[in-house]
Amino acid sequence: MPFETWVRPSSGDLLLLMTAGFFLLVAYAFIIVAMRVGEVAIIAPFRYSVIIWALAAGHLIWNELPDLISCAGIAIVITAGLYTFHRERLKRRFAAERMNKPTRVSSAPAPGSDRA
């Protein structure tokens, strides 16, 4: 029912809510540190694990499964994240190959030198 009367949470419920809030605060602090210190393209896909945890919690706690539209949205978000991860890996690999490629050494004298 959408318009039920307010029931004040018990002390135990408030303690659980405060504990959950504390752990969420710590988790987000670690996410912020990881984004500042680490490479975003590597860390960002792990943030998508929230979808998996939310699906698991919804099924275990409320016995609920996502509908077709939710599954389509989840698929789009996960596909975009995997594509970004793949693209960044390719970009790093090509950059590393360019760095390791030998440079061509010319035997011609440098401009302005006396060797002619």
Could you tell me what percent of the chain has a pLDDT over 90? 41
Does residue 19 belong to any structural domain of this protein? Answer: no
Give the model's pLDDT for residue 106.
60
Q: Which residues span the domain enclosing 80?
A: 40-100
Closest CA to 84 of 115, 26, 51, 43: 43
Q: What pLDDT, on a 0 to 100 scale, did the predictor assign at position 21? A: 97
Question: Does residue 65 belong to any structural domain of this protein?
Answer: yes
Give residue 113's pLDDT band: very low, low, confident or very high (50, 70, 90). Answer: low
Buried b (16+ CB within 10 A) or exposed e, 79-116: eebeeeeeebeeeeeeeeeeeeeeeeeeeeeeeeeeee
What's the confidence (pLDDT) of residue 102?
66
In a domain, 116, yes or no: no
Q: Is residue 113 part of a domain?
A: no
CA-nearest of 7, 72, 80 to 41 is 80
Count of the separate structural domains present in the chain: 1
For residue 110, the model assigns a pLDDT of 64
Grade residue 56 by pLDDT with cuts at 50, 70 and 90.
Answer: very high
pTM, entire model = 0.54
In Å, how far are 74, 78, 107 from 23, measured between CA atoms? Answer: 25, 25, 65
* Residue 15 covered by a domain: no
* Tens digits of residue pLDDT in 24-42: 999 999 988 998 998 877 7
